[in-house]
Amino acid sequence: MDFDLTQEQKMFQDMAKEFAQREIAPIARDLDRNEKFPHDLIPKMGEQGLFAIKIPSEYGGMDLDWTTLGLVAEQFGSVDFSTGLTYYIQTSLEAMPILTAGTEEQKKKYVPALVQGKITGCTAAVEPNVGSDATAVETTAVLDGDSWVLNGNKTWITNASVADFAVVVAQTDKSKGHKGIATFVVDKGTPGFSSTKITNKLGCRSTDTGQLFFRDCRIPRSSQLGPVGKGMSTALTCIEHTRFGIAWMGLGVTRGCLEASIKYCQERKQFGKPIGSFQLVQERIADMLVDLEASRLLVYQAAHLKDKGLPSTREVSIAKYHNIEVAVRATKTAVELHGAYGYTDDFPVERFYRDIIGPLIFGGTANVQRLLLGRMILGIDAISR
């Protein structure tokens, strides 16, 4: 495994760092306070080519590697996890399902516009009664002539109320279990399809999260995304890509906390000395550094495997599980080291502290990661029915 970044990877890393400092850092607090979706940032990210990294050139992309995408996600995570999430899912949960299962026509319709940041989308798997048990899908899709008719509710969907289209996981025949599951693309404005925003979230407040409702929503048969029976595998493939990005953003949050804490501990004085001169404070900083470097090695390993086209489910799960647990610890430490000042949104560590709880839940909960790893290690399935 080569730890040296290529010129191109460094260029994207620098570009993302500069973009995050110039465009995201100055507005992150306002976006968070007011639960504002960063509409203006999406086309700007598109102009800089940031959505193009993992997209094939025939759909307006640059055909680059996973490491580059991860490096960009880390930079955004180190400044604002919530905006980073909005950025990352434009590739992983919006373009990827279409690229994984779509027809040529579907790819041409959606992917170039996503790359340019002209549209946004969402992927809707979870429902009010369907969370970790993802295959228990209750939303139905019934074939009627040349149309599919969708009925059901989706909830906790990132981008629900701002998306121009939704990739929807639905059950076509309950008796077939997961073999009856299919995915569909539904455009905003389709009769019978509506959405609402979920407000007052603990964190990731600038990320749009919401519900989707389908009431006798009739879509053309050509809106089917891949074959019936493959819907769950399309969704899981894209969720794994999302986990990968979340792990990199977790690394970014830990780094953001460490950098903020170093600065604060060098400047803040108590007992006549910088608080960084106290051994107990140095211990906390040293522990954060060790966690940071371990997180970095895990995402580099996952990216290395993905870039080689080798199986990486295990390594991506390990990285997501570890890097978010570690980032939770780092945010808590950073808030403590900032004392009372870390208890308000005057310092970004307070936002990091709230935002990092979300990825303990989405992309598969921490328990789900443990169960996936347990199944791989023991060969015993403790998660399926």
Ligand X SMILES: Cc1cc2nc3c(=O)[nH]c(=O)nc-3n(C[C@H](O)[C@H](O)[C@H](O)COP(=O)(O)OP(=O)(O)OC[C@H]3O[C@@H](n4cnc5c(N)ncnc54)[C@H](O)[C@@H]3O)c2cc1C
Q: Residue 59 is encoded by which pair of tokens? A: 């759909």
- Single out the residue of 126, 217, 246, 251 in contact with ligand X (rule: CB under 6 A): 126
Smallest separation, CB 131 to ligand X (Å): 2
Contact between 132 and ligand X by CB under 6 A: the answer reads yes
> Is residue 150 within 8 Å of residue 217, measured between CB atoms?
yes
Contact between 131 and ligand X by CB under 6 A: the answer reads yes
* Of residues 12 and 362, the one with the C-beta less far from ligand X: 362
How far, in Å, CA of 120 to CA of 90, rounded? 7
* Of residues 183 and 223, the one with the C-beta less far from ligand X: 183
Kindly compute the dihedral angle of the four CA atoms of residues 233, 169, 239, 225, in this order, to the nearest 10 degrees.
60
Contact between 270 and ligand X by CB under 6 A: the answer reads no
Separation of first and last alpha carbons in the chain: 38
* Of residues 72 and 125, the one with the C-beta less far from ligand X: 125
Residue 246 vs residues 192, 250, 302: alpha-carbon distances, Å: 33, 6, 12
Smallest separation, CB 168 to ligand X (Å): 10
- Single out the residue of 15, 149, 361, 373 in contact with ligand X (rule: CB under 6 A): 361
- Single out the residue of 120, 123, 135, 237 in contact with ligand X (rule: CB under 6 A): 123
Composition of the chain by helix, strand, coil, percent to 5: 55, 15, 30
Contact between 157 and ligand X by CB under 6 A: the answer reads yes
| Cβ neighbours around 279 below 10 Å, total | 6
How far, in Å, CA of 329 to CA of 247, rounded? 15
Smallest separation, CB 327 to ligand X (Å): 15
Q: Which residue has the tokens 């599919």?
A: 148
Of 111-119, 174-182, 273-281, 361-369, the window that binds ligand X (rule: CB under 6 A) is 361-369
* Of residues 93 and 334, the one with the C-beta less far from ligand X: 93
* Of residues 13 and 234, the one with the C-beta less far from ligand X: 234
Using CB under 6 A as the binding rule, the residues of this chain from 37 to 76 that contact ligand X are none
Using CB under 6 A as the binding rule, the residues of this chain from 158 to 177 that contact ligand X are 158
- Single out the residue of 100, 171, 209, 323 in contact with ligand X (rule: CB under 6 A): 209
* Of residues 76 and 156, the one with the C-beta less far from ligand X: 156
Smallest separation, CB 370 to ligand X (Å): 8
Which letter does DSSP use for residue 342 in this model?
A: G
Q: What is the total count of residues that contact ligand X (CB under 6 A)?
A: 21
* Of residues 160 and 305, the one with the C-beta less far from ligand X: 160
Phi, psi for residue 263 in degrees, rounded to 5: -60, -50
Q: Is the dihedral of CA 89, 95, 98, 101 positive or negative?
A: negative
* Of residues 123 and 234, the one with the C-beta less far from ligand X: 123
Residue 213 vs residues 43, 127, 150, 185: alpha-carbon distances, Å: 28, 10, 9, 14
Nearest C-alpha neighbor of 320 from the set 227, 217, 246: 246
Contact between 196 and ligand X by CB under 6 A: the answer reads no
The one-letter amino acid code at 381 reads D
Contact between 367 and ligand X by CB under 6 A: the answer reads yes
Residue 283 vs residues 85, 137, 230, 286, 327: alpha-carbon distances, Å: 31, 47, 50, 5, 17
| Burial of residue 378 (number of CB atoms within 10 Å: 0-12, 13-18, 19+) | exposed
* Of residues 258 and 372, the one with the C-beta less far from ligand X: 372
Smallest separation, CB 282 to ligand X (Å): 35
Of 13-21, 40-48, 118-126, 254-262, the window that binds ligand X (rule: CB under 6 A) is 118-126
* Of residues 114 and 124, the one with the C-beta less far from ligand X: 124
What residues line the site for ligand X (CB under 6 A)? Answer: 93, 122-126, 131-132, 156-158, 204, 209, 358, 361-362, 365, 367-368, 371, 383
